[in-house]
Structure 1
Amino acid sequence: MIDPFSHDVLENPLPLHEKLREAGPVTYLEKYDVHALARYAEVHAALTDWQGFESGAGVGLSNFRVEEPWRPPSLLLEADPPHHDAPRAVLSKILGPRALRRLRAEWFADAERLVDEVLAEDEFDAVPALAQAFPLRVFPDAVGLGKAGRENLLPYGDHAFNAFGPVNDLVEKGQPRVAELSAWVNAQCAREALAPDGFGARIWAAADNGDLTYEQAPLVVRSLLTAGVDTTVHGIAAVLYAFATHPEQWRRLRERPGLARVAFDEAVRWESPVQTFFRTTTKDLELGGVRIAKGRKILMFLAAANRDPRRWTDPDVFDLSRDPSGHVGFGMGLHQCVGQHVARLEAEALVTALAARVERIELAGQPRRHHNNTLRAWASLPLRVHRTGGVTG
């Protein structure tokens, strides 16, 4: 019986994705009693039709219409219009181009400092040294968090994304710390815990202006802390893995450093740090020639759609000459990731700093996967670098 949340599949989901795509536009997974979408056209259609495929019943396997969620639902991810509108509008403004222009020089300088520290060694594990370290430096600063306790963000996010799947060993692994981690995260969302000039303070100011309620403000801050770290960490790890295994693409980037953002988006398409999300049908409908009843959970394989040969030429190839726009790695439509431009800026800063200093980048050992019900992640990514100005190693 097919189980997309088994450890074998989480270790290597590509064979299952191909099998599902070839089986048809809509398939049925008996183990979880859900319909599955693995082709680009149907995944895109479900993502962009929020009226027919709602997020408000939860974007995981659990159906909030009949089950109690483990935490108050996200006002961004697990809500639909009209409840989704005000939080989305506030965050879109706070995380918009003006804010990112202000952060750009600071983040690029911070990336250069971190890379210089890491490159003191020729070999290092890029997951803790770069992919985790940089987002945990710059993003909590931008939100306005204090320095203490930031190590809680990753295990909290890991559990949150595990909880979108079935109650398996991955969920049970995180259960002992749920109360502790939730209490810490909730405390950081309080107005008095946030620096006066960060994203968090601006969310609370939006409540002062009447754009949000005071009950909504801490939940919007929590959405930033939940979705704004893990996904970026795994996206950065994905692009570093891509370059370590595609030396010709690294050479292309070094010749044209302006391709750093394209590289990140291509890595997000190619590796899809967010592998799956669920929706729930709001009515009887037809998709891909299949009738689906109201109230049914739909499992969308974003990663399978991002490698669908019906949409992409040579989809299994990481290629900087490709235009990766249109990938569904950040979702699509009304619920598309509101912080995607922040993630792009973080990745661009780090990759640009590396490209200026590293002539070659390669694997120094066997990478090791981190299993999560929703995320495609690396636990360890050993790299060896050859710096510019001479060969090292």
Structure 2
Amino acid sequence: MADRRSPGCRDAARPMSRLAAPGLGGAPGPASGDEAMRRGVVQLGAGPVQRGLLERFRENGLVPILVDRNERPAGRVPGSLHVRAPIDEPQTIVRALQEARSDRRLAGVGIGAVLTSTDLGVASVPVVARALDLPHASIDSIATMDDKALARRVLSEAGVRVPEGWLGRRPCDIPALETDREWIVKPVDSSGSRGVRRIRGPVALAHAIENALAFSDRFLVEECIDGIHLDINGLVIDGRFELVSIGRRHFTRPPACVPIHGGIAGGWSASLAEEVVRLMQASVAAFDYRHGPVKADLIQDERGLVVLELAARFHGDVFSHHVAEAAGRPPAALVWLARLGLCPKPVEGPRHGGWFGVFAEKAGTIRAIEGLDEVRSLPGFRTWIPRLGPGDPVGSPEDNRALVGFGLIGFDRTEDLWAEADRRRQMIRVALD
């Protein structure tokens, strides 16, 4: 069987049995009898936030194949197929797909792509895609992106601007810092703003390092760069970066750095798009990342763009699907699938689309979520995506573990998206017992 991996792929995965027989991996083979061949997409993780995206797959003539460890995935939609497996165990996923082929649950379905919406499934994507004989990025490139410390070094050596910083395992690993400057302390092996602190001074630094080490055995101390935080979604085919969307994100005040609202305000300038594409092309080339979705967190200051991190996936589905649709744009995953020829090219009609996150003020047990009905009645409200509800325990609002839910809004371009998102966020209060 021909190797259809992207050029330059250095795949460290051990050989495994292929699933690319007709009706499963690669290009679908001829159907037998009256059975029509359908295109399928493997989605690693199928929670409630993914449900809307999976419905879009189905509406575009695709069969969602859900890989989820739960017996009844919350995101399952009619017409989808469920393969039960943990999304961070690629060999288990491959075996589960083989079983689904053997018992004919996948009869008449040719798998054309493997996607995930979370960091937990990122490392599984190339292994599963390889078993399906689909193009994929190298495992090495994805692993390098996933290691914050190594990624910083690779980007810096390639001439890509990253924050000045130091890696440590103990507080004594960090040199004496200028006390009149602000610094960012974050765990190396964490995501979702968990364990991230913006601090000034040696006492605050010690506390921030202790907090970061609760999430990882390594931490980074980086210079604090003030500017506009940009959320970038893009895709890479044969090593070439293509821009999908540019959004903005706003955070809580120091010391915690928790995102509270953001979105896509109508669109973006051609000059910003050109600058982002140049930077992202240099970044994916530095990692030798040649095929797949890619997301980035950037900061734009008076000197230009700075890379905070990249990952081999799109941003979470709140931004990549729900906000995109609120802004009149197609979900990033559909752009990718259309680029692969699996569905029609989506139509765009840019407007304002945004999100806001609601947090509890302190740890406790949720009694009620107050003000939500009033927010729902306001013009431009689209939906509320709950994460927690009455009776659920909630953590401290110092990171995303205290997130109670997301609100989605959409407006014409005449509205002030950021002010409106923040106003509605503040209208909702989490009452605790």
TM-score normalised to structure 2 length? 0.26
TM-score normalised to structure 1 length? 0.28
**Higher Cα Rg, which structure:** 2
* Higher strand proportion: 2
* Higher helix proportion: 1
